[in-house]
Amino acid sequence: MTENMHDPGVSNKMPSSSGSNRGEGNSKSKTSRRSFLKLSVAGAGVAAAGAAGITVARRMEGIPQDTLPIPINDDFKPIDQRNVLHIFAYSKALDQKHPERTKKFGNYNFYERFKTFYNGPYRKDPGYTQLERALAIGGFALLSKLHGPYGLSNPDGLLSSWKQEMLAKSQYEFPSKQEASQVIKSAAALYGAIKCGITRRDRRFDYDPLYDIGQERELSWERDFPFEPKTVIVIMTEMDYLAMSTAPSWITDATVGNAYVEALKIAAQTALFLRQLGYKAVATMNDMGMCGPYAVAAGLGEGGRNGQVITTGYGPRVRISKVYTDLDYVEYDKPKTLGVASFCLQCKRCAESCPSEAITFDGPSWEPTYSSDPDYIWHAAKGVYKFHNDTKKCFKFWIENDGACANCIASCPYNKPDFSHHRFVDIMNVVAPSQVHGLMKEFDILFGYGTVSDPAAVKKFWKKGRTKT
């Protein structure tokens, strides 16, 4: 390091040591004191930089919270599963019971329209040909075999069966709660989970009553479910970045389906693992309870404007499954804040990209801001302070598109492939004040990320071969 770290204009005027009339010993001691001072300053600088680095790294993983970062009113009631749109749209009985829902949504019959889903003709536009349809059917294929014919929201499927098969007679005793959690997470990771979190069962997040479309009957937690769940293990799988960037093409369906199949497989394996350890466990997808709040409670991410859980490293490009178990000798994860809520306030890119205008441009609220008519907002979760989106409009677009859409995932600035240079931006996001977030969104657009309805993306997906990004 240079002798003179101060302003060069000043340093140039300083007499050189050879011209000094001070004694040599005195000069040496002054020099060594100065060197010592410099070393101390440098050491303090390195220590400060190290501490700042650790703080930023911790903040990037999220700041643990003692309470859920989703404010919920005390009078919040668990959601009746009959009011879940995908349950309602599958059920003939519910359709007949609620003609007002059809009427209030411009005489749009969800049940009849849903029957047409995936049955439309191939098209000529890129992303909608026989090729993409085949890919999507392949992606979802096992799901209908393994979970059942009524979609992911219907409880008690094949791999998600409530039967406690292969339950060990003796219970394995974990040496500590911490070890129990580590063991479960290691098992889930081995089965293929990209993230796994463990949280207490929270009745507010469970559907109650549950509803089985196959039998068109209400199910009760107390009467029908085989045990009292104490803990929920939340599992995440990744959707392919390139496939997602073709949104809203049928290729996105393929990666959505594929990630769901993986999520179901991992949940089923983890549930069986627990049963083999003597603990009751059931794998579940979107049935039984809301994946989003459970994932947030398990510290895996934060809720975004687009209604998805935004996670570190993947953004909203994940699918979620869960395992309900009676094992409660575990160390629970804490929810974390990642700064998503403040980013979403400025960003709104998903809302701008949503072809059905289902996503709100408004801030978070306790109730939907798009309507207060109970016959229109029958599916909404009231009493939760969040972004309220009109999922009926989303559903309608899916039917028109004859495939899922996912523009709100593809366009989100948090959706990035796992390349290290994006971690720099993650750091920026954490350290930058919230006013800068709007600017960061504009830069994201300028840099060419999050484009949707792009025929070139379809071409790129097929041309890429299977080199995973």
Partner 1 sequence: MMELMWYVVGFLAGVSGYLVYMLSRKYNLGVIGLGSLIIGLFLILFTVAWSVGSVLEGVPRAASMGIVFFAMPGIVLLTFTAKRFLTPRYRKT
Give me the residues that bind partner 1 (CB under 8 A), please: 1-8, 11-12, 16, 241-242, 417, 419-422, 424, 443, 446-449, 460, 464, 469
CB of 307 to ligand SF4, least distance (A): 7
**Which of the ranges 190-198, 255-263, 279-287, 407-415 carries the binding residues for ligand SF4, by CB under 6 A?**
407-415
Three-state secondary structure readout of 75-126:
CCCCCCHHHCHHHHHHCHHHHHHCHHHHHHCCCCCHHHHHCCCCCCCCCCCC
Rounded to the nearest 5 percent, the helix, strand and coil shares of the chain are 45, 10, 45
Report what 397 binds from partner 1, ligand SF4, none; CB cut-off 5-8 Å by kind: ligand SF4
Is the Cα dihedral 340, 343, 348, 353 positive or negative? negative
Among 117, 221, 397, 462, binds ligand SF4 (CB under 6 A): 397
CB of 247 to ligand SF4, least distance (A): 8
Contacts of residue 224, defined as CB under 8 A and 6 or more positions apart, other chains included, come to: 162, 210
CB of 361 to ligand SF4, least distance (A): 10
Q: Cβ closer to partner 1: 6 or 22?
A: 6
Q: Cβ closer to ligand SF4: 273 or 343?
A: 343
Report what 42 binds from partner 1, ligand SF4, none; CB cut-off 5-8 Å by kind: none
Report what 136 binds from ligand SF4, partner 1, none; CB cut-off 5-8 Å by kind: none
Please count the residues of this chain forming the interface with ligand SF4, following the rule CB under 6 A: 25
213 part of the interface to ligand SF4, by CB under 6 A: no
CB of 396 to ligand SF4, least distance (A): 8
- Kindly give the residue spans of alpha helices, DSSP state H, lying in 214-249: 241-244
Question: What's the longest Cα–Cα distance across the chain?
Answer: 104
Q: Is 383 helix (H, G, I), strand (E, B) or coil?
A: coil
Q: Cβ closer to ligand SF4: 210 or 344?
A: 344
CB of 56 to partner 1, least distance (A): 16
Dist. CA 152–CA 287, nearest whole Å:
6
Owner of token pair 């220590």: 47
Among 413, 425, 429, 458, binds ligand SF4 (CB under 6 A): 413
Among 229, 292, 301, 304, binds ligand SF4 (CB under 6 A): 304
Please give the backbone phi and psi of residue 291, each rounded to the nearest 5 degrees, phi first.
-65, -40
Closest to 40 in 3D by CA, of 48, 51, 50: 48
Pairing mode of beta strands 195-200, 63-64: unpaired
Report residue 345 as tokens: 């306030």
Judged by CB under 6 A, the chain residues 314 through 373 that form the site for ligand SF4 are 343-344, 347-350, 353-356, 358-359
The neighbour count for residue 27, using CB atoms within 10 Å, is 12
Dist. CA 161–CA 27, nearest whole Å:
83
Report what 349 binds from partner 1, ligand SF4, none; CB cut-off 5-8 Å by kind: ligand SF4
CB of 443 to partner 1, least distance (A): 8
Report what 420 binds from partner 1, ligand SF4, none; CB cut-off 5-8 Å by kind: partner 1
User: 164-173: long-range contacts (C-beta < 8 A, 24 or more apart)?
Assistant: 164/226, 164/227, 164/275, 164/280, 164/281, 165/275, 166/272, 166/275, 166/276, 167/275, 167/278, 167/280, 168/275, 168/276, 168/277, 168/278, 169/278, 170/278, 171/277, 171/278, 171/279, 172/277, 172/278
226 part of the interface to ligand SF4, by CB under 6 A: no
CB of 375 to ligand SF4, least distance (A): 22
Which residues of this protein are in contact with ligand SF4, per CB under 6 A? 304-306, 343-344, 347-350, 353-356, 358-359, 394, 397, 405-408, 411-414
